[in-house]
């Protein structure tokens, strides 16, 4: 695992307020929750609800994701939520999938930072 200082610096450059999260949860707990979240099932569930056109369920899942992003101080990821909400309002599956793809790219980058050796 990479030196935590390097991880913190990279994540902060990525728009994640790690220092604030560490203050709130403690370092180990914060990193554990961050990794669980970016690897978590909520994003998969969101993609499934969009694909099936279950817009109400997609909004609820997005709301939970947004709350977790807020709690973990993931400012750079939160910017995707208004875009996603707009696609839900128009029931535009293709655009929603595009936004989800961008979110997935960002999550993969975060996972890489967290797992660097």
Q: What is the pLDDT of residues 8-17, one digit of tens each?
A: 999 999 899 9
Asked if 110 contacts 102 with a C-beta cutoff of 8 angstroms, the reply is no
C-alpha span between 99 and 95 (Å, rounded): 6
**Average pLDDT of the chain, as a whole number:** 94
Higher-pLDDT residue of 6 and 116 is 6
Contacts of 16 (CB under 8 A, 6+ apart): 34, 72, 73, 74, 75, 76, 77, 110
Q: What is the DSSP string of 55-107?
A: HHHHHHHHHHHHHHHHHTT-HHHHTHHHHHHHHHHTT-HHHHHHHHHHHHHHH
pLDDT of residue 117: 55
Q: What is the pLDDT of residues 36-63, one digit of tens each?
A: 999 999 999 999 999 999 999 999 999 9
CATH 1.10.3470 correct for 2-113: no
pLDDT of residue 16: 95
Q: What is the pLDDT of residues 19-43, one digit of tens each?
A: 999 999 999 999 999 999 999 999 9
The answer on pLDDT for 104 being more than 70 is yes
Counting residues of the chain whose pLDDT is more than 70, the rounded percentage is 97
């Amino acid at each position: 695992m990479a030196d935590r200082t390097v991880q913190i610096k990279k994540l902060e450059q990525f728009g994640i307020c790690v220092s604030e999260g560490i203050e709130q949860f403690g370092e180990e707990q914060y990193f554990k929750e961050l990794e669980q979240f970016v690897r978590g099932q909520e994003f998969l569930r969101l993609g499934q609800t969009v694909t099936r056109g279950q817009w109400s369920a997609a909004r609820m899942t997005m709301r939970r994701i947004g709350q977790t992003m807020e709690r973990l101080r993931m400012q750079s990821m939160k910017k995707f939520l208004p875009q996603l909400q707009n696609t839900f309002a128009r029931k535009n599956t293709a655009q929603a999938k595009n936004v989800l793809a961008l979110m997935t790219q960002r999550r993969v980058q975060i996972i890489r930072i967290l797992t660097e050796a």
